[in-house]
Structure 1
Amino acid sequence: MNKQPTDIHGKAYNRNLLVLVLIIGSFCTVLNGTLLSTALPSIMRSFNISTATAEWLSTAFLLVNGVMIPISAWLINRFGSRKMYLSAMSIFFIGTVIAAIAGIVIILAFFLIKDVLPTKKEKIDVWSVTTSTLGFGSLLYGFSEAGNKGWTNPEILGFIGFGIIFVILFGIRQLKMDDPFLDITVFKHFEFSLAAALSGITNLAMVGIEMVLPLYIQNLRGVSAFHSGLMLLPGALMIGIMSPIIGRLFDKYGARKMAITGMTLLTIGTIPFVFLTEQSSYTMIIILYAIRMVGVALVMMNVTTSGMNSLPLNKISHGTAVNNTFRQVLSSIGTAILVSVLTTTTNNNMPGKSLLHALPLEYKTRAISATLDGFHASFAMSILFSLIALVLAFFLKKGNRAREHQEKVDG
């Protein structure tokens, strides 16, 4: 007979409703990212800025996450998951353009979100905050600006080098502390480390294409931002549709089979993008993007759960913070790489300006071809990321990784 779960105060709560609120909140953030990606081409035209500059709108989100996530473990331990979730969704409510949807979540969270992990009074370590902020902030800034200034630019190399130094200092500090600000010893657990890598690369593949594809749809095909958003909407909806199903599939088949299946779908769904033309079917693009998002859903949630299940309960908050930090940093780096490849390939293949005056039609044809080359190269890089993750998926442990099952075995 299953015992009803209780929070840290000993009060019973409905686990399914709590999870439902988390799913709705996650869907809102995914939808918000899709809306921003869809608006980027219009923003570029309105402000006459480059792709790499427009990328900063997405990078700003990743930058704040990269700086704040290492602090989240301390915040959760200090104030509790309920207060943290309510605060986060309240801020999201104020700042997002889909505030109305985000407000459905705050009301539900007030009644249904409970503190399930014990809190403890801890002093915040100023040196840890300083090194993590400078380290991750500099790294994300350097990789993001590389698309504008080039990977060999002294300023870019300086920021990346500066970031690496402070991330190392941050890591050393954590290893020396009796009660670390962010417990990076979770990486000693192979299953967690592998899951973090898989989750990061998968998120990278999702965010990168989420930004590049609207550029193709709007800039090259001339589709409006509204219709471009509608084309990507089914893919975003697949995350919400798959969420209730994935848990059951995970319990039945385990993370390994789910991750291999998901990465295979992600790879197969990306390959046709390398061959996009001016006349590629919109229906094909919609279906392929939706297939990719199904693959993302199958991998992201399952491998994250698998990784967390390999950790002791007292390491969960730190594992969550480490996993999210790693994922955001990889996403920023990957997006910067995709945009840099797109920009560099396009510029290198672009015809000279002299041809524009002599043979304008020929110039237009070659310019379109150069732009397509840029998109093809960027999509090819995304396939490479997907293949790397697919290989890593085969190293996950076989079988069911549900924590309840593990506790019975360990007991």
Structure 2
Amino acid sequence: MSSLEKPAIRPVPITIALMIGAFIGLLSETALNMAFTEIMSDFGIETHAVQWLTTGYLLVLGILVPVSALLLQWFSTRQLFSASLLFSILGTLVAAVAPNFAILLIARVIQAIGTGLLLPLMTTVILVIFPAHKRGTVMGTMGLVITFAPAVGPTLSGLVVEKLSWHWIFWICLPLLILTFFFGLKFMQNVSTITKPKIDILSVLLSTIGFGGIVYGFSNAGEGAGSWGDSLVIVPLLLGVIGLTLFAIRQFRMEKPMLNLRVFKFKMFTFGVIIVFICMMLILSASILLPLYLKGGLLLAAFSAGLMLLPGGVINGLMSPFTGRLFDKFGPRVLVFPGFIITTLFTFLFTNVTTETSTIAVILMHTGLFVGVAMIMMPGQTNGLNQLPKEYYPDGAAVMNTLQQIAGAIGTAIAISIMSAGQMTYMADHAGDVNDPIFMSGALTAGVQNAFMFAFIASIIGLIVSLFVRRVKV
């Protein structure tokens, strides 16, 4: 053992610090969605403007996460952890006191920088400090953090907005972030290897145009039906595709690329990326469709809608460590294939919801869907990353996390567009008054049915891909 390896790595406190930081970052991200109505009222803005609180966040992640592979080779673990928490703390503080929408949007961008640094850092550090036979359990615990935060976010914000104001969503998160920062300063250790490769400015530029264009274009498309032909959708998507193509060509030609796309030559990693991509589309499309259906189709209040989505998210989170242990023992096939069977069944059931569907039925279907997701997400991701050599860990983590953000943007955009188109078709085919809540709830429900058909087809594709998944020998 060399002198550089003598300080004993303490994986548990390192992992705790990273996961708490990620949990709070993701919590504040999703919690804000339920407060959009109040923010629009307070600042006198329209829906297309308030959506930028989500679009801007996704855009920053889409630009920053691909660059994280480079940052992980330039800065130490402690430096990146500290920077990510400081950005999160600053963004949360600015958001809590934001006097207008512009300041709130700037705060969200600062928050996104913190999250964009932390998520790939967490994945890479876990790969480095835990042996392959224990990663399933640890990644399962990470899955609990990543899925439990979005699950409790809407419920918490519904309660906070009802009793206090949306500012308190950030005031509640702020002291927790500060405590995590000091906890991390005490226990965080430098576990990554700093090589300081040459920074290729053209690669950074092409990555920014490529990933940023894709996320921005799809996010704009998600604002409503008929927007796919808009120049704000077509131009960014076109620039994004051109940017990504040139970026990929350049990376393959470079001896030391910014983001090593040779990770895709590992078959199980590629299958893992596809599985995680589809799974994220299922999660994000369901997460945006169900609140709309519950509030607009079943005419429930925001807090009640948030409570209905809580059991599925909680059970999904609690299952993640359990599925992680099963993965360590039996491998991915006993989880991923049955998981896709479950998601396929429940997405199909969601294509048949009506304005008369009982709340118990919705809770059971949502819970069933997220049980399937728990069996797919972390086992698929962990098995793929396990096949990579150690020097590819930063690149693999960056690719996985970047494509998760893109999958979220694509899944949300397609789901909203199909829902809006179905809503308009219903209104054209049925006589009714747009001021009649019953008629409009029927129209929205028809749109939701159509949108879940997209999720159903995506799940079938995932089911087919899962047939080719094999356990990686490590």
Match for 2:24: what amino acid? C
- 1:11, 1:215 → 2: CA distance? 52
Find the aligned partners of 2:456 and 2:322 in 1 and give their Cα distance: 26
Work out which of the residue numbers 76, 79, 82 in structure 2 matches 1:80: 76
Change (3 A) 1:101 1:215: farther
Say if 1:42 and 1:225, in contact at 8 Å, map to a contact too.
no
Partner of 1:93: 89
Q: 2:349 corresponds to which letter in structure 1?
A: P
Give the counterpart of 1:322 among 399, 405, 426: 399
Distance between the aligned counterparts of 1:144 and 1:41, measured in 2? Answer: 19
CA offsets, 1:68-87, max 9 Å, x none?
01110011111123322332
Task: Please name the residue that 2:433 is paired with.
Answer: 356
Q: Give 1:273's aligned amino acid.
A: F
SS in 1 for 2:319: helix
The CA distance in 2 between the partners of 1:383 and 1:6, in whole Å, is 53
Which position in structure 1 is the counterpart of 2:442? 369
Report the counterpart of residue 338 of structure 1 in structure 2. Answer: 415
Give the drift of 1:298: 2.4
Amino acid corresponding to residue 72 of structure 1 in structure 2: S
- 2:269 match: 192
Q: Which residue of 1 aligns with 2:102?
A: none
CA contact (8 A) 1:271 1:383 kept: yes
Cα deviation code 1:309-348 (max 9, x no counterpart):
1111000101111111122112211210001111111122
The one of 105, 115, 118 equivalent to 2:190 is 115
* Secondary structure, aligned partner of 1:350: helix
1:187: Cα distance to partner? Answer: 0.7
Q: 1:76 to 1:196 in 2, by over 3 A?
A: same
Q: What is the match of residue 60 of structure 1? A: 56
Deviation at 1:189, TM superposition (A): 0.9
Change (3 A) 1:386 1:39: farther
Distance 1:293 1:104, change over 3 A: farther
Secondary structure of 1:396's aligned partner: coil
Alpha-carbon separation, structure 1, partners of 2:176 and 2:294: 27
Residue aligning to 1:409: none
Does residue 392 of structure 1 match 2:465?
A: yes
Contact 1:131 1:167 in 2 (8 A): yes
Letter matched to residue 368 of structure 2:
I
Residue 107 of structure 2 corresponds to which residue in structure 1?
Answer: none
Contact conserved, 2:299 with 2:441, CA < 8 A, in 1? Answer: no
What's the secondary structure of 1:119's corresponding residue? coil
Whole-Å separation in 2 of the counterparts to 1:178 and 1:60: 33
Partner of residue 328 from structure 2, selected from 251, 271, 278: 251
> Shift in Å at residue 394 of structure 1?
1.3
Residue 393 of structure 1: CA displacement?
Answer: 1.1
Tell me, in whole angstroms, the C-alpha distance in 2 between the residues paired with 1:78 and 1:26.
22
Q: Comparing 118-127 with 141-150, which one deviates more in the overlay?
A: 141-150
Which residue matches 1:36?
32
Distance 2:418 2:318 in 1: 33
Structure 2 residue aligned with 1:233? 310
Q: Identity over aligned residues, as a percent?
A: 31
Query: Is residue 2:380 matched to residue 1:380?
Result: no
Structure 1 residue aligned with 2:119: none
Residues in 2 aligned to 1:323 and 1:312: alpha-carbon distance in whole angstroms: 15
> Normalised by the size of structure 2, how large is the TM-score?
0.75
For residue 104 of structure 1, report the CA deviation from its aligned partner.
4.6
Given that residues 266 and 295 in structure 1 are in contact (C-alpha distance below 8 angstroms), is that contact kept between their aligned partners in structure 2?
A: yes
Q: 1:301 to 1:6 in 2, by over 3 A?
A: farther
* Change beyond 3 A, Cα 1:37–1:394: farther
Matched residues in 2 for 1:53 and 1:197: separation?
A: 32
Secondary structure of the corresponding residue to residue 34 of structure 2: helix
In the alignment of these two chains, the number of paired residues is 392
Distance 1:211 1:279 in 2: 20
Shift of 1:121: 1.9
Distance 2:186 2:5 in 1: 15
Q: Which shifted more, 39-48 or 67-76? A: 39-48
> Which segment drifts farther, 143-152 or 202-211?
143-152
Match for residue 66 of structure 2 among 61, 65, 70 = 70
RMSD: 2.9
Report the equivalent of 2:300: 223
Check conservation: 2:316, 2:367, Cα contact below 8 A: no
Q: In the superposition, relative to structure 1, how do residues 249 and 171 fare at CA in structure 2: closer, same or farther (>3 Å)?
A: same
Residues of 2 paired with 1:293 and 1:128: CA distance? 37
Amino acid in the other structure paired with 2:458: F
One-letter code aligned to 1:386: S
Secondary structure in 1 matching 2:257: coil
Structure 2's unaligned 5+ residue stretches are: 93-169
Deviation at 1:307? 0.9
User: Which one is further off, 23-32 or 226-235?
Assistant: 23-32
* SS of aligned partner of 1:356: coil
Looking at structure 2, the residues matched to 233 and 226 of structure 1 have their Cα atoms a distance apart, in angstroms, of 11
Q: Kindly state the Cα deviation for residue 55 of structure 1 after the two structures are TM-superposed.
A: 4.6
Structure 1 residue 151 corresponds to structure 2 residue 228: yes
Q: Is the 8 A contact 2:199 2:258 kept in 1?
A: yes
3-state SS of paired residue (2:433): helix
Alpha-carbon distance in structure 1 between the residues aligned to 2:4 and 2:319: 30
Equivalents in 1 of 2:175, 2:300: separation in Å?
A: 27
**Following superposition of structure 1 onto structure 2, how do residues 10-29 of structure 1 map, counting pairs within 5 Å?**
10-29=6-25
| Residue type at the aligned position of 2:385 | M
Supply the distance in 2 between the matched residues of 1:53 and 1:45 (Cα, whole angstroms): 12
CA shift, 1:354, in A, is 8.9
Letter in 2 for 1:341: I
The aligned amino acid for 2:300 is V
d(CA) in 2 for partners of 1:325, 1:133? 12
Pairwise CA distance, 1:53: 6.2
Displacement, 1:241?
2.0
Kept after mapping to 1: 8 A contact 2:63/2:208: yes
- Corresponding residue for residue 217 of structure 2: 142
Aligned partner letter, 1:368? S
Any gaps of 5 or more consecutive residues in structure 1?
Answer: 407-411
